[in-house]
Amino acid sequence: MLVTVLDAGLLYVDHIHFQYNGMLLGLLILSATKFRLQQDLQGAFLYAVLLMFKHIYLYVAPLYFIYLLGHYCYVKKADSGSSDDDEDNNGKVLRKRSISSTDVHETIQDLHDGNVVFSVVNFVRLGVMVLAVFALAFGSILWDHEDPIAGMKQILSRLFPVQRGLCHAYWAPNVWALYAFLDKVLVILGFPASTEGVALMSGGLVQEASFAVLPTVSPLVCAVLTFVMMTPVLRSIWRYPDSSLFTSALAYCMLCSFLLGYHVHEKAILQVTLPMALMAADSVASMRLYRFASGVATVSLFPLLFTPAEQGSKVLLGACHALLAEVVLVPLLKQSLKERHIKVTAVQMSLFERVFLAGLAGLALLAAVFPYIPRIGSRYPFLPLMLISVSCAIGNIYVWGFTVTQHFRKLDAVKYYLDAQRPK
């Protein structure tokens, strides 16, 4: 909790840049935590409220729907004939098991044994609760509106302002930053380019994107690509709707939306790193993943604080948070592994990860002094921002690969447990 509350990126965005994301991220974390505690209805309520505050969380609606459908709407058959007394002799009894140091969750043994039935009552209860939240949110706006339909259209037009373009003024470090960078490289290499596209995408303006060489990417393409990349993890949750898998799936799906979404803001990376903090003490790999992802996210948010008075503050906050993660997470992880009788291995990041973060630190230093370099500093003001965005995009893609690997490792642990519980 301490590492999450004092996250450097969160301090940048909420307490210096003033974007007020802390409450929304808190609702997201509370929702995920409720699922880990088997309180599905409360978790769904918090997500519905969160969605009414900020529609960017619509990206993970498929994950929430699939998880709740499998974990909440399917219940054990009442006539299964099993009880707590014969739990040791019956592999079809729902059991509790801790895959990590923080999860105490029901497995899905009955689901795979066909010992479940769809609960219409639970489905209706869930649907009514979600619809009530939506009705209250929209009804309070449209109640006194002269034309409610026109009012709803106005709301939708503001929720999805596709005219803002694929990339933000400062490219969010995602796939489209690499796409835009490649477009610039192709122009330099002499590929045929449109006159309009050459001047755009690096001018620091919020406008509809127009590439010089590469084809323009539409919002529909972004949405389809995002959903396609989520599909393997969504499929795993559909087959194994277990609470120990939800947080890793949430982090992965949020990362997919960040890497492939339309007009993504750089601060949206916090929607990835903060859920990762919940898993940081689960395993050595999870802690490595969080520390690396947090380091990349911190550097990617440096451009938000650009005045001379903020330079020292952002570096100090970033360094202090990295040190805090080391001091807090390493002992916590070692204790967690010891309690589970797991041998403690090296807890430090890999050589590649350390070298990459050191390179980002050097690049951030270059970006800080670049405006003061004679001639080129004023001529190419967007260049250091472009380099930070592209470099952090590479780091985030590495995190994406690491995240999906971690999710399926947890899935393998659940499968192993289920197989071990089956009668021999």
pLDDT at 373: 87
Cβ(27)–Cβ(49) below 8 Å: yes
Q: Mark whether 64 and 210 lie in a shared domain.
A: no
Query: Does 88 reside within a domain?
Result: no
Q: Mark whether 212 and 359 lie in a shared domain.
A: yes
Q: Mark whether 67 and 144 lie in a shared domain.
A: yes
Q: Mark whether 244 and 358 lie in a shared domain.
A: yes
Q: Mark whether 241 and 297 lie in a shared domain.
A: yes
The one-letter amino acid code at 136 reads L
The closest alpha carbon to 295, from 262, 263, 268, 317, belongs to 317
Q: Mark whether 144 and 261 lie in a shared domain.
A: no
The closest alpha carbon to 64, from 45, 82, 77, belongs to 45
Q: Mark whether 361 and 224 lie in a shared domain.
A: yes
Integer Cα distance of 28 and 49 in angstroms: 10
The closest alpha carbon to 241, from 66, 45, 47, belongs to 66
Query: Does 107 reside within a domain?
Result: yes
Query: Does 84 reside within a domain?
Result: no
Q: Mark whether 203 and 118 lie in a shared domain.
A: no
Ranges of the chain with pLDDT below 50: 80-105, 107, 199, 204-206
pLDDT at 90: 34
Q: Mark whether 136 and 274 lie in a shared domain.
A: no
Domain tally, the chain = 2
pLDDT at 92: 34
In the structure encoding, which two tokens stand for residue 274, read together?
Answer: 């903060």
pLDDT at 18: 66
Stated length of the chain: 424
pLDDT at 77: 76
Three-state DSSP at 41 gives helix
Query: Does 114 reside within a domain?
Result: yes
Domain of residue 260 covers: 175-421
Kind plus residue range of the DSSP H or E element containing 116:
strand 116-118
pLDDT at 189: 92
End-to-end Cα distance, the chain: 42
Three-state DSSP at 75 gives strand
Instruction: Examine the fold and report which residue of 159, 193, 227 is the final residue of a domain before the chain moves on.
Output: 159
Query: Does 52 reside within a domain?
Result: yes
pLDDT at 91: 32
Residue showing tokens 């008075």? 309
Q: Mark whether 414 and 278 lie in a shared domain.
A: yes
